[in-house]
Amino acid sequence: MNRIDQRFAALKEQGRTALIPYITAGDPSPDYTVTYMHALVEAGADIIELGIPFSDPMADGPVIQKACERALKYNTRLSHIFGMVREFRRQDSETPVVLMGYLNPIERLGYQAFAEQAAESGVDGVLVVDMPPEEADEIAPLFKEHRLQSIFLVAPTTSEARAATICAHGEGYLYYVSLKGVTGAATLDVEAVDRQLDVLRKLTGLPLCVGFGIRDGASAAAVGKVADGVIVGSALVSRIAEGCERPDSVAEELKEVLGEMRQALDA
């Protein structure tokens, strides 16, 4: 069984909600990514989403855009990111790692090489923001062959017909984008999210995780009541941004921010 499925099976048994932090690989420099990943696990992360920096992150707000810029100053690319996951795996063989990013860096490396190297380094799943299932027919078989799970987004604007297609192709979990807009945007309406998750539950048995708009313990707990997992990105990445002159001390701050969410979810 894939690490992601294992983790959700265990969480279900314990009646707990998954906590899924996102950080951009190489932010603020490649030296810190693995340290931060371990810190996130210590604070209660169930799965780590590791962002592949991209020069033109069209679906992201300014917080993640700037994270990409910091990472790209060090020319962080996929070969380095696989190295980070490999290093992370030396100490942690259990926490699932999902790579999240845009298609062009993957396309440039080559689908075959990407799938091989990602799997070999210990990656468990891949979420390509600008690749809906309709465009994934070339890469999906390669992911399957290498036991990488394809994770897809569902949005408030997704029609039921599309949702059915996405559910049929999705593995691991569904990433429900809780609001229209880019990452790091405004607040979210938990009741609306709840209604839409109900629709999705009729279509799939996949765990439903909610991202966009979760910034603290309270919002995490509110979403945690209706979802199988909560995803938190910009709230963590803005801590990394504030601390980019003193990156050593940021690991502790990340633990605090995520720890508060963990407590709120488990309360």
Choose, by CB under 8 A, the member of 108, 147, 195, 225 that binds another protein. 108
| Choice from 104, 194, 204, 266 touching another protein (CB under 8 A) | 104
Q: How many residues bind another protein (CB under 8 A)?
A: 42
Q: Which is nearer to another protein, 65 or 150 (CB)?
A: 65
Of 154, 145, 152, 95, the C-alpha closest to 118 is: 145
From the candidates 49, 124, 171, 228, give the one annotated as an active-site residue.
49
Active-site residue, selected from the candidate residues 60, 124, 171, 228: 60
Please choose, out of 8-16, 49-57, 86-94, 193-201, the segment that lies near another protein by the rule CB under 8 A: 49-57
Name residues contacting another protein, limited to 117-156 (CB under 8 A): 129-132, 134-135, 152-156
Site for another protein in 224-253 (CB under 8 A): none
When asked if residue 83 is in the footprint of another protein (CB under 8 A), the reply is: no
Q: Does 75 engage in binding with another protein (CB under 8 A)?
A: yes
What positions carry a catalytic annotation?
49, 60
